C-alpha cells in the first residue's frame, strides 16, 4: 500500500475499546460487533469509503458477512460506495457487525479493521485521484465468554 494520511486525534484508536459484543442468531453465539471511529477532523459521506474489511486472527471475514450500521441504518459493504447521502460524523462511531458461525471464543484475539477512505476535497493527481485516508487499526482484544 502506498502513502495514506492518518490523523491521530484518538491516540491511534479507530476500533473503539470496550465496544466488542457477541452477536446471537436464534439465541446462539454466531457473530460479533464493534464500533469504528472515523479518524478525521470532519465527517465523510459513506461513498468516500474505498475499502472496508474485517479480519479476525488473521482471517478475512467474507464481505457478505459484514455490515456497517450508522444512524439506525445497516448497509452491506457493497452499498457503501453508493451511499452518497449517508453522512458519517467524526464524532459518531459506526457499528460494524460480522456474522461468524459459532462466534468468537473467550480469550485474546487479534481484530483488524481495514478502512480506507478518500479525502474528497484533496485532489492529489489528475482525474479521480484523491488523498487516501487510513482509518483502520489492528488491535488485540480480550473476549469474555
Partner 1 sequence: MGNVKLGVTLFCYGTEYKRYQYDFEECVRQAAEAGATGYEIVGTQMIPSYPSVSDEFLGLVESCRKKYGIGPVGYGANNDKGMLYDRNLTDDEMLASAVLDLKAANALGCKVMRVQYMMSPAAFGRLAPYAELYDVRCGIEIHNPETPASPNMQAYLEVIRQTGSKYLGFVPDFGFLAVAPNRPMWLAALKNGVKEEHLELAAQCRREGLSQAEATEKVMAAGASPAIMTALSGMYGFVQFHDRRDLPGLLQELKDIIPYSFEMHGKFHYIDDDGNEASIPYDEILPLLRDSGFDGYLICEYEDELYCGGAELTRRQLAMEKRILGA
Describe the chain by its helix, strand, coil percentages, rounded to 5: 10, 50, 40
Specify whether the CB–CB gap between 114 and 91 falls below 8 A: no
Contacting partner 1 within 28-87 (CB under 8 A): 41-45, 47-48, 50, 81-82, 84, 87
Binder among 89, 101, 105, 107 for partner 1 (CB under 8 A): 89
137 touching partner 1, by CB under 8 A: no
Give one DSSP letter per residue of 40-95, joined into a string.
SSS-EEGGGEEEEEEEETTEEPPGGGEEEEETTEEEEGGGGGG-TT-EE-TTS-EE
Interface with partner 1 (CB under 8 A), residue total: 28
Nearer to partner 1, 91 or 144 (CB): 91
**Residues in contact with partner 1 by the rule CB under 8 A:** 7-10, 41-45, 47-48, 50, 81-82, 84, 87, 89-91, 118-123, 127-128, 130
Amino acid at each position: 500500500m502506498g502513502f495514506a494520511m492518518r490523523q491521530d486525534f484518538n491516540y491511534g484508536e479507530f476500533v473503539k475499546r470496550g465496544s466488542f459484543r457477541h452477536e446471537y442468531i436464534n439465541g446462539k453465539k454466531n457473530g460479533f460487533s464493534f464500533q469504528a471511529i472515523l479518524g478525521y477532523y470532519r465527517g465523510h459521506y459513506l461513498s468516500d469509503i474505498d475499502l472496508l474489511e474485517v479480519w479476525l486472527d488473521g482471517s478475512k471475514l467474507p464481505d457478505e458477512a459484514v455490515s456497517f450500521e450508522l444512524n439506525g441504518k445497516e448497509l452491506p459493504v457493497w452499498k457503501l460506495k453508493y451511499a452518497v447521502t449517508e453522512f458519517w460524523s467524526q464524532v459518531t462511531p459506526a457499528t460494524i457487525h460480522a456474522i461468524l458461525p459459532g462466534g468468537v471464543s473467550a480469550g485474546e484475539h487479534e481484530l483488524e479493521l481495514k478502512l480506507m477512505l478518500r479525502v474528497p476535497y484533496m485532489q492529489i493527481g489528475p482525474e479521480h485521484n484523491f488523498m487516501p485516508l487510513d482509518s483502520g487499526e489492528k488491535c488485540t482484544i480480550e473476549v469474555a465468554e
